[in-house]
């Protein structure tokens, strides 16, 4: 079956777009906008944005049909970006730009269908409005919600629940018994519910500790390509509502990640880590086991968090992590070590010369 894609929309006027987010529009508010673009690449029919007045100075050659600027900068923008027919004033330009992108570039839609190559268990419950792509496998007693889109090569195990309006991109794997909420997006090759890394050793070998728990992914979560979320060993691993995980992240067994958490790529999280709501984690951060990151904490990239630590609200960096200001001071000192080494060598030389002048030599004794 051919699947028409409704991933484009008719052009919207500047006036329409501004009204949708309560912004103020100046200039030719009837001009049509079809897509979003950067200031440097913008052409007729696109909307671009500048975050602040400093960036506005670089927009004088912008070729967009509309430019989003901070509140109060509209008249100045019209003088600087004279090629731009319309200006949109808003409190947070980057947020407005993102909202316009959702409107102008909606998510791809497919006609409800089940591809002939899909392998679906008889006991599976597939909503009539779902899309099931080529070579998808869906196991016994699994449920696929209304409007959900499952792309090519996805494997859904037994007793899996997937909510409404989800998107599973190619080659996602959901092990048995996991639960996916509504409006969840899983990018290519995400793996949910693999066994956690838990072993007990005797004198001869390692023996696997039971990995019989589950994974719960709550509503509005987005998980980047090749990220792996392990099942709980005896309980659950949870990713809270509205949380966003980047590519190539590992979430160990029995972790509890709260709501609206953002975690950048290549971060590794050991088992039984709790990250509370509204935390921000940079890329390549390493977490030991049984850590608690309290709500509102920000951890900079490449930081290392020792097992069992409690990370309080604030900005943290370094290995092991420390308050950002302290880390910056220490880092500045480390940067001066070569210079300090040369200064120390010079001081040693001068001290030796002074000793030779001041101390009597053996011939005078």
- Catalytic site positions: 253
CB-based contacts of 43: which residues, under 8 Å, 6+ apart? 37, 63, 64
Q: Residue 69, class by beta-carbon neighbours within 10 Å (0-12 exposed, 13-18 middle, 19+ buried)?
A: buried
CB-based contacts of 73: which residues, under 8 Å, 6+ apart? 53, 56, 89
For CA atoms 245, 247, 153, 105, give the dihedral sign: positive
Place of tokens 């092991």: 320
Separation between Cα atoms, residue 98 and residue 92, nearest integer Å:
10
Return the DSSP state at 106.
P
Tokens of 188: 């290519």
Residue 315: name the closest of 298, 329, 292 by CA: 298
Tokens of 266: 């290549």
Question: Distance between alpha carbon 195 and the CA centroid of its chain, in Å?
Answer: 23
Separation between Cα atoms, residue 62 and residue 78, nearest integer Å:
11
Q: CA Rg, the chain, in Å?
A: 28
Q: Helix, strand, or coil here: 102?
A: helix
Tokens of 148: 């959900």
Separation between Cα atoms, residue 156 and residue 235, nearest integer Å:
21
């Amino acid at each position: 079956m051919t699947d028409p894609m409704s991933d484009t929309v008719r052009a919207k006027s500047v006036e329409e777009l501004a009204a949708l987010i309560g912004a103020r529009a100046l200039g030719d508010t009837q001009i049509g906008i079809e897509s979003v673009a950067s200031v440097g690449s913008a052409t007729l029919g696109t909307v671009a944005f500048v975050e602040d007045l400093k960036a506005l100075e670089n927009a004088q050659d912008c070729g967009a049909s509309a430019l989003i600027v901070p509140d109060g900068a509209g008249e100045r923008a019209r003088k600087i970006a004279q090629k731009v027919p319309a200006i949109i004033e808003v409190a947070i330009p980057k947020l407005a730009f993102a909202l316009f992108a959702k409107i102008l570039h909606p998510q791809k839609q497919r006609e409800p269908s089940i591809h002939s190559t899909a392998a679906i268990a008889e006991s599976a419950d597939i909503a009539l409005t779902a899309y099931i792509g080529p070579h998808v496998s869906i196991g016994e007693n699994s449920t696929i919600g209304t409007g959900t889109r499952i792309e090519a090569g996805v494997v859904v195990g037994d007793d899996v629940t997937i909510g409404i309006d989800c998107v599973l991109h190619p080659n996602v794997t959901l092990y048995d018994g996991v639960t996916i909420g509504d409006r969840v997006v899983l990018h290519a090759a995400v793996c949910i519910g693999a066994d956690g890394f838990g072993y007990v050793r005797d004198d001869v070998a390692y023996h696997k500790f039971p990995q019989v728990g589950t994974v719960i992914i709550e509503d509005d979560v987005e998980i980047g390509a090749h990220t792996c979320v392990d099942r709980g060993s005896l309980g659950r691993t949870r990713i809270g509502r509205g949380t966003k995980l980047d590519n190539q992240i590992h979430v160990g067994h029995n972790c509890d990640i709260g709501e609206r958490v953002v975690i950048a790529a290549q971060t590794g999280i050991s088992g039984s880590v709790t990250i509370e709501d509204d935390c921000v984690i940079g890329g390549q951060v390493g977490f030991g086991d049984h850590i608690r990151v309290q709500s509102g904490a920000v951890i900079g990239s490449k930081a290392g968090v020792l097992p069992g630590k409690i990370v309080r609200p604030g900005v943290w960096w370094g290995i092991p992590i420390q308050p950002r200001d302290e880390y910056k001071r220490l880092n500045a000192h480390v940067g001066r070590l070569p210079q300090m080494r040369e200064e120390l060598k010079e001081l040693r030389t001068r001290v030796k010369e002074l000793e030779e002048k001041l101390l009597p030599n053996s011939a005078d004794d």
